Chain A
Amino acid sequence: MTRQLVSLMFVISSYGEHYPDMNTLSTVSFLFAIMVKSTPQDDSLKEIYVPTPLGIKIRQLRKEQGLSLDQLAAMAETSKSYLWELENRETANPTMDKVSKIAEKLGVTAEFLLNDKQEGHSVEDADKAFFRKYQKLPSPTKKKIQDILNVIQDRGTDDE
């Protein structure tokens, strides 16, 4: 990178259509710093509430099938609190054995539940670290942010 032109500082949401996803900014080539946050204090403090992609998927599938925590826990022969942890906690420690069982009961594969790859552009490795959270933003949002940044950038150049 040559002269860096832009720096970014970020706040991320936890509530929303999607479950609190850690996320952030842009692949535009002129940024040099991004600060990410998981959840604004406004909502949930630092006692971080960050579900994993695994948790989000399990919860979504469970809801779609109209199952309560109790019901799915019983079906998958696991405890209710363990299932709650899987759905709601980043620190949850999923075992293959249990995830397979849950997957089976939800009619999906364990691989589907555990695979949290994001589709997206290939960016340089160095950028990946910074941008991996940004990449979790919905694509249209990413595009929009880039557009806005581009406009501002152009405006600056035109001005002078």
Chain B
Amino acid sequence: MDFHFNNPQEEDPKFDFHRFVLLFSHSFTDRIRFVGELELEHAMVEGLEEKGELELEQAYVDFLVTPKLNLRAGMLLVPVGIINERHEPPVFQGVERPFVDTVIVPSTWFEAGAGVHGEFGQGWRYRAYVMAPLDAAGFNAEEGIRGGRQKGSKANTRSLAHTGRIEYVGLPGLSLGTSYWYGKTTGTSFPDVKSRVLLGEVDGRYRNGNLEFRSQYAHLFLDGAAELNDTFQRTVGVSPNIAEQIRGFYLESTYFVLPYAAPRELALFLRYENFDTQYRMPTGFLPLKRFDRSAWVLGFTYYPDPDVAVKFDYSIVRNQSSLVTAPNSLNLGLGWWF
């Protein structure tokens, strides 16, 4: 559960019950399991208005065969990045998720699909899925591919995408991972456009004593961006100015202050992010510098219990535009999990 108070510069402050999540699990047998996650975003869903969302983020059946090879099918989380598969509020610092995990890796990124997962041993494990592709009709300059998620809702599967992740979790406190997504895009609006998305990503987390570090780098290549922009221009009248490369990274350090008796904890954190959804443009298109952004996010999380997080942060956002400024933001949050 995620309850926020957001106060961006030059905007009215808002209360937002951002996420209300219900998890379900059932074991048919020791080897056949079901997991479901239903999420209500922004407290309500209203017909004909984009107010909130009711999303089926996970609903899959696992067939556990051997530790090295297991099968999974249904609505799956795309195994890319730190946050997407591990997004409970007490698990990450900051009221909102990192910008990179919002506009470069569009978390929460879930899609219908099937695949395999397992462990190689020595702390190595993997996931590999075939999934419904992205819909290029939803791509834009500000948030990259975020609007292209089909979310398993009558998802067009004219072509299939594939995605995978390998991670090393063999040492206490250490987690290293690399992942990708590759697939042709789909889109009923312009079926003749042949574009492809390749997203590559590396990430790491390490906690030792009171210190934790995490970092992530993600780079996306969009083949056919020029044709997409031209097609939009012809059909809608406005080019979305989609880039052919977008990329972002962040570095975060957290210090866990332990002046209190267990279970209470206080974590101070500082995160630097750099992300550009107009990183490389196709020939004939100029980048919009307002979308070449960086951010410093600093704040703290107070844990009265390991499953309850009271959060505060201040985001200082900058962009490369001389005309449009990026708003700083003061945020308060209350997240819990049980």
Q: Do A and B bind each other?
A: no
B residues neighboring A (CB under 8 Å): none
Task: Give me the interface of A with B, judged by CB distance under 8 Å.
Answer: none
